[in-house]
Amino acid sequence: MPDHAKTPATQDQLMKLWIRAEVLRLTNIRASNNRRTGNPGPEMSVSKLAMSGLNQEITNLCVSLQGPAGLIGFDYTFRRPEDLSVSGLETSIGHAFLRVRANSIEGGTSEIMRNIIGEQVLGLPGEPRVDKAVPWSEVPRN
């Protein structure tokens, strides 16, 4: 960490992100154990939603810790999907910062995950669906 970034506020922010990452790691372990016993719960939906936001906040902090240097040198190189990780950290912070933006749409958008959690986990009423009883093949499209 650069000397200019070694402030109590930055250290507090870093620790908050670490705690959130640790809680998420433990939640994933619990979800994996529940899945093995045949009793999967909502943990993976919550985990997906939390991970996408956490990854973005971590890379935001990494870029801001670079100071003015974090504003230049972004890597826009196209990479094959098999050469990428979820975070993009195998190349650079700049690439990871851009890469994690996709986390919120991969595997279902964050908005859809919130709807699923709200309706199926919390029991909130669903959004009105006028085509709910219509077969997919008969749903009007543009």
- What mean pLDDT do residues 58-84 have? 79
B/e letters for 57-71, b = 16+ CB within 10 Å, e = fewer, are ebbeebbebbeeebe
* Mean residue pLDDT across the chain: 83
Which pTM does this prediction carry? 0.73
Distance (Å, rounded) from C-alpha 71 to C-alpha 73? 7
The confidence band for 98, taking pLDDT boundaries of 50, 70 and 90, is confident
Domain 3-124 grouped into CATH 1.20.140.10: yes
90 pLDDT higher than 90: no
The residues spanned by each domain of the chain are 3-124
